[in-house]
Amino acid sequence: MTNTIAQELLDRRDQARLGGGQKRIDSQHAKGKLTARERIDVLLDAGSFEEYDMYKIHRCADFGMDKQQIPGDGVVTGWGTINGRPVYLYSQDFTVFGGSLSESHAEKICKVMDLAMQNGVPLIGISDSGGARIQEGVASLAGYSEVFYRNAQASGAIPQISMIMGPSAGGAVYSPAMTDFIFMVKDTSYMFVTGPDVVKTVTNEVVTSEELGGALTHTKKSSVADGAYDNDVDALLELRRFYSFLPLNAGVKPPRQATTDEWDREDTSLDTLIPENPNQPYDMREVVQKLADEGDFFEIQKEFAGNLLVGFIRINGETIGVVANQPMVLAGCLDIAASRKGARFVRFCNAFSIPILTLEDVPGFLPGTSQEYGGIIKHGAKLLFAYAQATVPLVTVITRKAYGGAYCVMAPKHLGADVNYAWPSAQIAVMGAKGATEILHRADLDDPDKIAQHTADYEDRFANPFIAAQRGFVDEVINPRSTRRRIARAFELLKNKEVHQPFKKHDNIPL
């Protein structure tokens, strides 16, 4: 290599690294945002990033674009490692044409997507983009569809994670929407199909970008996003933590993480956690944390459908997906939001060989016109369908109520669960004693003494785990303090579980 060429290489790299120029980098920083490359530096292990297509440029000649060429064309792509494990990624550079997606920009993204799929390595996309490159027209739209096609192909084959760190408007929302998880940054990121101006023109609604598609909107209201963080650095560091729970692809198991937490650790506080009064709530999140290695629970959609907790823990170093009714919110009832949240999570775990722990305390499906009109029948069926289809190890612990249709849904033996435990406080019945009495003894409704007696009789009969245990629907009634040891042993035994399913092209989950 001559000195001239070596110098040219250095110059070209420097030029590419400057993106849209210092002024635009300053403006990015002034908004509290990192640049595309700074984000990669925070996310990946130091020195591990290898960039591809750094010099790639667009091919548009319209609107004076032939005189505006910036190497890299608004997206930084390549691969690196997170805690030593590989990942392909792209990071859109808002300083270059607003991170907008041109044909070339899309080709760069597609290249890393193809490599990720071919090599069985996850893909992380960092979005900060004004959407389709307006000067390019249909070539840009074609680029989007190429990306969408690959998102669908990769779904269930490799984990795909989206980190929204700026605008994501129009077509830019649909690639993240097809990935497994979307995380956002509060105040600086937003996602919407049409922006506030179009909304005002079409519907007369006046709304800010933040209200329409900010991180709080999507984590609390729409459930489009799975988590929101205060700033870029927090978000990327949490993404590093999250990544360590996931396998590289559908054909391998998640990584084991060394732990100093004894696998058979007893927790006596669990013995007294369930209140005497069955109508009094307790915090199921506390149960999850007490069972997890080092209390570490990476919760998904924490701000949405709080009546169902989902997320990842480790037991004895192994990743476990947790689905748990939360009695603190809506008494833990299943509703539309919780069913959708749970179903998607169960399907992710099943696709990527992550065993599922179900913690059950559920008084039933939430009644009411808003639920029925909203289609609780179809949405509740999603969770039912997801569990029934899951072939990963399934361990269920009934901590208190397992009533009615919700018992049928929350990973009972009859849907294929492998090991089902109940705490002594479990109550497994068609419904609560009061409701049951009012239906069975309608003629005695005017006699409070008789009703009290019938209610007590019903409670005596069903407010315990033993009727279900006598049928073999519960494998064992366990002391709450020993739950971690029991589930650790169960998952260890189920490690090589294999289930063969009938041939089909794919299922038809109720959508």
Shortest reach from residue 184's CB to ligand HXC, in Å: 15
Shortest reach from residue 228's CB to ligand HXC, in Å: 19
Q: Residue holding tokens 């080709």? A: 107
Shortest reach from residue 32's CB to ligand HXC, in Å: 12
Which active-site residues does the annotation give? 170-171, 405-406
Shortest reach from residue 23's CB to ligand HXC, in Å: 9
Query: Can you point out the beta strands (E) in 153-219?
Result: 160-169, 181-185, 190-192
Nearer to ligand HXC by Cβ, of 100 and 319: the residue is 100
CB 333 within 8 A of CB 366: yes
CB 252 within 8 A of CB 265: no
Shortest reach from residue 171's CB to ligand HXC, in Å: 2
Nearer to ligand HXC by Cβ, of 135 and 307: the residue is 135
Instruction: Count other Cβ atoms within 10 Å, centred on residue 179.
Output: 18
Give dist(CA 185, CA 166) in Å, integer. 8
Nearer to ligand HXC by Cβ, of 174 and 466: the residue is 174
Computed over its alpha carbons, how large is the radius of gyration of the chain?
Answer: 26
Give dist(CA 244, CA 86) in Å, integer. 11
Shortest reach from residue 129's CB to ligand HXC, in Å: 7
Nearer to ligand HXC by Cβ, of 101 and 478: the residue is 101
Nearer to ligand HXC by Cβ, of 155 and 289: the residue is 155
CB 166 within 8 A of CB 189: yes
Give dist(CA 176, CA 182) in Å, integer. 7
Query: What own/partner pairs with CB < 8 Å and gap ≥ 24 does 410-413 have?
Result: 410/323, 410/325, 410/358, 410/360, 410/362, 411/323, 411/356, 411/358, 411/360, 411/387, 412/473, 413/472, 413/473, 413/475
CB-count burial class (<10 Å; 0-12, 13-18, 19+) for 366: buried
Nearer to ligand HXC by Cβ, of 35 and 396: the residue is 35
Give dist(CA 30, CA 94) in Å, integer. 13
Element of type H or E holding 108? helix 103-119
Shortest reach from residue 116's CB to ligand HXC, in Å: 22
Nearer to ligand HXC by Cβ, of 213 and 327: the residue is 213
Shortest reach from residue 134's CB to ligand HXC, in Å: 4
Close Cβ partners of 110 (under 8 Å, ≥ 6 residues apart): 146, 147, 150
Cα dist. 114→32, 129, 243, 362 in Å? 33, 22, 20, 43
Nearer to ligand HXC by Cβ, of 132 and 419: the residue is 132
Q: How many CA atoms lie within 13 A of 300 on its CB side?
A: 27
User: In the complex, which residues of this chain contact ligand HXC (CB under 6 A)?
Assistant: 97-98, 100, 130-134, 141, 144, 167, 169-172, 174
Q: If DSSP states are collapsed to H, E and C, what string results for 435-475?
A: HHHHHHCHHHCCCHHHHHHHHHHHHHHHCCCHHHHHHCCCC
Give dist(CA 497, CA 356) in Å, integer. 13
Shortest reach from residue 484's CB to ligand HXC, in Å: 47
Nearer to ligand HXC by Cβ, of 139 and 494: the residue is 139
Question: How many residues make up the chain in this entry?
Answer: 511
